[in-house]
Amino acid sequence: MARIPAFSSRLKSRILAAGAVACFGIATPALAQDIKIGTVIGFSGLFGAYGNPLFETFKMALEESGGQAAGRKITIIKEDDKTDPKYAIQLVRRYIQDDKVDFLLGPVYTPIAAAIRDDVHRGKTFLIVPLAGDDGITREMCSPYIVRTSFSSWQQNVSLGDYVAKNVGKRAALVTSNFAAAHQQSAAFLETFKAGGGEVILHERPALGTADYAAILTNIRARQDSIDVVYAFLIGPPVAAFTNQWAQSGLREKIKLVGVIPMADEFWFPGQKDNALGIIGGGPYAAGALDTPANNAFVARFQRKFNRAPTSTEVGGYDAGKLLISVIEQVKGNLKDKAAIRRAFSNAEINSPRGYFKIDPKTGNVINNIYITRVVKRNGVLTHELIQTYEKVRDPGTGCKMSAP
């Protein structure tokens, strides 16, 4: 009994000393702890075609800053959300509760954004959306923790609708896939198209994945004397199939084909070949249309790595990376003040390849120019030429009731 007090007091002081050293030792790594990003992106299947390239450009943007910001290294937890909303919700919960990520990157597929919105908002974890274009994400579903670097469906189409009504033709036939995103996109187009005096002669809604458009093209041909322009919005391989069948139908001579730029861009050119020539597009980015130092540098770097020019999908990923770096640097690596991070998003000035870029403090959506383009051939390569620019197009954010974090 007598030995214990002596033993324990020496032990106590040793333990205290060891504890002090340990605390000091633990404290230092904590300051330089990595910043964790969790991906909510589909890397396989149909949408993997978009998810993979934009993730690569996201990483490209991080590499340009040496993979770090404000002295803290950025690590990415790369998981596939399998383009499945049920799976994505579990993934996001894991990221927030277990992995304690600082930022989330994604999604590509719009229904996933709706599915994870509440977990993101309640979990007070910032989500950077690099692609999913559903208007609702920055309207009724908006949250101080959600920002988007791609576009809203509305943004992409309103400028195009206005341009087409004023410069191409006032009588349109629409061919849009029968699903929610397509309805949204065509509704936005029609908003300004009709305001500019346009009218809809025909609106076909083929099922998603339809390969043969012969019947629809025949319908258009039956009314070709009363149609000036065809607006198309399709998803996947049918984009190329429709373009080729359109060219084969002989209707090209009389009727112009228009659509958002991703209906005829570098992603589809190998499948469309010269059938894409002359298609008029609208959207926030086209590699060949913007002759600026920032864009030329980005295109050159991308071309070296991937052997083709980048599309707006890849710019969405790249700008997400640059935005993240800017935000972390603005708050000097201190991620505890959420309000400060929110302000940093709205104040960020990144040198985006697309030109003007600002996150709208009211909605979290990007404000940028919308370019009207035409597919042309330069030096034997299909690319876009710029016809007109609509400056600083901003989504109205109807229904967004956001309060500061």
Partner 1 sequence: MALLIEQAVNGLQLSMLLFLISSGLALTFGMMQVVNLAHGSLYMLGAFIGLAAHAASGSFVLGLAAGALATALCGLVLEQMLFKPLYPRGFHAQALMTFGLIFFFDELVQIIWGADIKSLTVPAALDGTTLIGGATVSLYRLFLIGCGLLLALVLAGVFTGTRLGAVIRACVDDREAAESLGLQVPRVFTLVFVVGAALAGAAGFLAVPLFTAFTGMGNDTLILALVVVVLGGMRSVLGAFVGSLVVGFSLSIGQILIAGYANAVVYVVLAIVLLVRPAGLIGGEAR
Binding site for partner 1 (CB under 8 A): 48-49, 178, 204-207, 209-212, 214-216, 218-219, 221-222, 237, 240-241, 244-245, 248-250, 268, 270-275
* Least distance to partner 1, CB of residue 123, Å: 34
Cα–Cα distance for residue pair 228/187, rounded to 1 Å: 19
Nearer to partner 1, 53 or 281 (CB): 53
Nearer to partner 1, 219 or 369 (CB): 219
* Least distance to partner 1, CB of residue 153, Å: 19
* Least distance to partner 1, CB of residue 288, Å: 19
* Least distance to partner 1, CB of residue 232, Å: 13
Cα–Cα distance for residue pair 200/187, rounded to 1 Å: 11
Nearer to partner 1, 38 or 317 (CB): 317
Q: How would you classify residue 109: left for phi > 0, otherwise alpha for psi between -120 and 50, otherwise beta? A: beta
Nearer to partner 1, 119 or 204 (CB): 204
Taking the CB of residue 172, how many other CB atoms lie within 10 A of it?
A: 28
CA distances in angstroms from 29 to 25, 32, 34, 311, 357, listed in the order given: 7, 5, 9, 40, 35
* Least distance to partner 1, CB of residue 196, Å: 26
Cα–Cα distance for residue pair 164/88, rounded to 1 Å: 38
Taking the CB of residue 35, how many other CB atoms lie within 10 A of it?
A: 19
**Is residue 326 a contact partner of residue 103, using CB atoms and an 8 Å limit?**
no
Nearer to partner 1, 244 or 351 (CB): 244
Nearer to partner 1, 195 or 211 (CB): 211
* Least distance to partner 1, CB of residue 223, Å: 10
Nearer to partner 1, 138 or 186 (CB): 186
| DSSP SS3 for 229 | strand
Helices (H), 170-292: 180-195, 214-222, 238-248, 269-272
* Least distance to partner 1, CB of residue 244, Å: 6
Query: Looking at 186-345, which runs of residues are DSSP E strands?
Result: 199-204, 229-233, 256-260, 280-283
Closest among 306, 255, 250, 301 to 278, alpha carbons compared: 255
**Interacting residues of 387 by C-beta distance below 8 A, sequence separation 6+:** 163, 280, 372, 373, 374
* Least distance to partner 1, CB of residue 213, Å: 8
Nearer to partner 1, 308 or 394 (CB): 308
**Interacting residues of 288 by C-beta distance below 8 A, sequence separation 6+:** 309, 376, 378, 383, 384, 385
| DSSP SS3 for 231 | strand
